[in-house]
């Protein structure tokens, strides 16, 4: 046997080791190039931040932890394994080693950030859903009286049984309030104030069908879950103008204080029509120049106000939204009148800009214009919103024996009596008191007294 040189054998082993290292290095470099190309493709495809599920995902490794000493001990070292470890994290540039402690801290921060972002997204979705609900409720209860609680507007429905928000309320406001002597609590999901005590039901506490009230008909008929009250049907505008001759008109032809608008000419003291069918009635403080009375929202939009003569607001077809906010979402297509007043003029007037050029500016003091006191559902006593007028515009008084006394109101009063004294008085009305002779003119059927 031929003996081999040990140096040559060692050199051959070194060459083999170098070749193996080169091959391993080439494999790692090729893997790194593939990962970089793959990451570039993913970054290009996810340009807008949304990866398509069909796109290839980066490779995930099962074991990401690499302990350097692997729990083994060497001579001259401590018998306890080192607590320091590293975690391999895959990034766009390849795998990166992180210290375990640093990785855990970053992971906790990232976890808290993700939870915070998730809560923010949930809160945004809740607010968006709440705003959509408030918008639907505002359109549904557009004819209900409105009030203000902590600066937020609410609609009063069902006789005060619910206070529905009409705009997005401030979440920082307290969730409890006291209105009309009753304590309310706000629901978290809907923002509606509900009473914490029992409220007695009123006559008109049940929600009325707005289609039946405005048109006199409803496609659902008796299956409708809302109330169909014939006394609350809107008055026929053609009847008020004396031009409705339809026998089957579904609107009301019975004017009263709850469904008939006020006469604008009477309010201006210029009505000269003796057969005017509009209401000749003024609310309190109407002629006082220090007050301004706004329109009754239930009457203007719903066509009916249960308060009747007890209503402190104007029964006119004016747009209440335009009066309150100087804005109407229907614009020129709104069926109601957009009335401009001095208050509206002040709201839309352009504020003058004053430029100061010198340190000392002498300005003339102007007397501030006195502001009128507004009478609306936001300012009156809440009890007035639930007043009910059961008398209407006509009072029937039938006294067969002549013993009862008539009411104070003499407007449209009908008295029927069977007493003999009334008959004698009626028979002697045609005689002249001075000479006791009968006046032929007054007994004549063609005579018209002035």
pLDDT of amino acid 388? 87
Q: Which of 11-20, 210-219, 428-437 has the lowest mean pLDDT?
A: 428-437
Ranges assigned E (strand) in 175-308 = 176-179, 182-186, 193-195, 291-293
pLDDT of amino acid 73? 47
In which band, very low, low, confident or very high, does the pLDDT at 251 lie, cut at 50, 70 and 90? very high
Mean pLDDT calculated for residue range 131-148: 91
Q: What is the pTM of this model?
A: 0.61
pLDDT of amino acid 56? 59
433: pLDDT strictly greater than 60: no
Q: Which has the higher per-residue pLDDT, 383 or 356?
A: 383
pLDDT of amino acid 397? 40
Mean pLDDT calculated for residue range 353-365: 54
Q: Give the distance, in angstroms, between the CA of residue 319 and the centroid of all CA atoms in the same chain.
A: 17
Mean per-residue pLDDT of the chain:
77
pLDDT of amino acid 153? 92
Give, in order, the Cα–Cα distances in Å from 105 to each of 89, 98, 102, 111, 276: 14, 11, 5, 10, 84
Contact 430, 347 (CB under 8 A): no
361: pLDDT strictly greater than 80: no
Mean pLDDT calculated for residue range 322-347: 86
Which of helix, strand or coil describes residue 27?
helix
Which of helix, strand or coil describes residue 382?
helix
Contact 192, 152 (CB under 8 A): no
Percent of the chain with pLDDT over 70: 70
Residue position matching structure tokens 């007493």: 419
pLDDT of amino acid 197? 85
Report the Cα–Cα distance between both ends of the chain, in Å, rounded.
161
Residue position matching structure tokens 């003796």: 274
Provide the token pair at 124: 């945004």
Q: Which of 15-19, 203-207, 407-411 has the highest mean pLDDT?
A: 15-19
2: pLDDT strictly greater than 60: no
The whole-angstrom separation of Cα 90 and Cα 332 is: 63
In which band, very low, low, confident or very high, does the pLDDT at 93 lie, cut at 50, 70 and 90? low
Burial tier of 385 (Cβ tally within 10 Å: 0-12, 13-18, 19+): buried
pLDDT of amino acid 367? 56
Residue position matching structure tokens 């007890």: 310
284: pLDDT strictly greater than 80: yes
pLDDT of amino acid 1? 46
Provide the token pair at 73: 């001990």
Q: Are strands 86-91 and 65-66 parallel, antiparallel or unpaired?
A: antiparallel
Q: Which has the higher per-residue pLDDT, 436 or 304?
A: 304
The whole-angstrom separation of Cα 185 and Cα 175 is: 6
Q: Are strands 373-375 and 291-293 parallel, antiparallel or unpaired?
A: parallel
pLDDT of amino acid 59? 58
In which band, very low, low, confident or very high, does the pLDDT at 91 lie, cut at 50, 70 and 90? low
Beta bridge partners of 186: 193
143: pLDDT strictly greater than 50: yes
258 contacts: CB under 8 Å, gap ≥ 6: 232, 299, 304, 305, 306, 307, 308, 389, 392
pLDDT of amino acid 447? 41
In which band, very low, low, confident or very high, does the pLDDT at 279 lie, cut at 50, 70 and 90? very high
Mean pLDDT calculated for residue range 133-156: 91
pLDDT tens for residues 300-315? 999 999 999 999 999 9
The whole-angstrom separation of Cα 295 and Cα 313 is: 6
């Amino acid at each position: 046997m031929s003996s081999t040189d040990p140096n040559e054998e060692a050199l051959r082993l070194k060459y083999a080791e170098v070749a193996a290292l080169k091959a391993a290095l080439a494999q790692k470099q090729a893997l790194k190039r593939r990962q970089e190309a793959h990451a570039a493709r993913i970054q290009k495809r996810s340009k807008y931040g949304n990866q398509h599920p069909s796109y290839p995902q980066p490779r995930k490794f099962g074991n990401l932890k690499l302990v350097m000493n692997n729990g083994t001990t060497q001579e001259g070292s401590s018998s306890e394994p080192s607590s320091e470890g590293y975690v391999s994290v895959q990034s766009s540039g390849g795998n990166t080693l992180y210290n375990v402690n640093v990785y855990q801290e970053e992971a906790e921060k990232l976890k808290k950030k993700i939870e915070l972002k998730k809560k923010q997204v949930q809160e945004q979705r809740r607010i968006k859903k709440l705003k959509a609900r408030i918008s639907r409720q505002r359109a549904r209860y557009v004819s209900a009286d409105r009030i203000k609680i902590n600066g937020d507007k609410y609609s009063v429905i069902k006789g005060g049984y619910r206070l529905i928000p009409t705009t997005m309320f401030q979440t920082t406001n307290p969730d409890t309030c006291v209105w009309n002597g009753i304590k309310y609590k706000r629901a978290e999901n809907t923002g509606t104030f509900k009473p914490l005590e029992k409220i007695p039901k009123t006559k008109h506490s049940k929600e009325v069908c707005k289609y039946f009230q405005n048109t006199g008909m409803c496609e659902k008929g008796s299956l409708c879950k809302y109330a169909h009250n014939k006394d609350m049907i809107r008055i026929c505008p053609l009847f008020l103008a004396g031009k409705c001759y339809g026998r089957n008109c579904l609107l009301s032809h019975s004017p009263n204080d709850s469904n008939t608008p006020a006469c604008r000419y009477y309010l201006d003291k210029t009505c000269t029509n003796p057969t005017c069918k509009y209401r000749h009635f003024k609310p309190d403080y109407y002629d006082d120049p220090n007050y301004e009375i706004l329109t009754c929202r239930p009457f203007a939009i719903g066509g009916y106000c249960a308060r009747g003569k007890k209503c402190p607001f104007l029964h006119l077809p004016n747009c209440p939204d335009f009066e309150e906010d100087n804005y109407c979402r229907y614009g020129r297509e709104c069926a109601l009148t957009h009335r401009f007043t001095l208050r509206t003029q002040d709201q839309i007037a352009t504020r003058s800009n004053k430029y100061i050029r010198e340190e000392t500016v002498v300005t003339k003091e102007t007397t501030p214009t006195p502001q009128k006191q507004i009478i609306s559902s936001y300012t009156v006593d809440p009890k007035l919103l639930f007043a009910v007028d059961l008398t209407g515009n006509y009072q029937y008084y039938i006294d067969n024996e002549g013993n009862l006394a008539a009411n104070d109101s003499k407007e449209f009063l009908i008295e029927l009596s069977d007493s003999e004294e009334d008959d004698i008085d009626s028979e002697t009305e045609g005689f002249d008191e001075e000479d006791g002779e009968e006046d032929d003119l007054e007994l004549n059927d063609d005579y018209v007294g002035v």
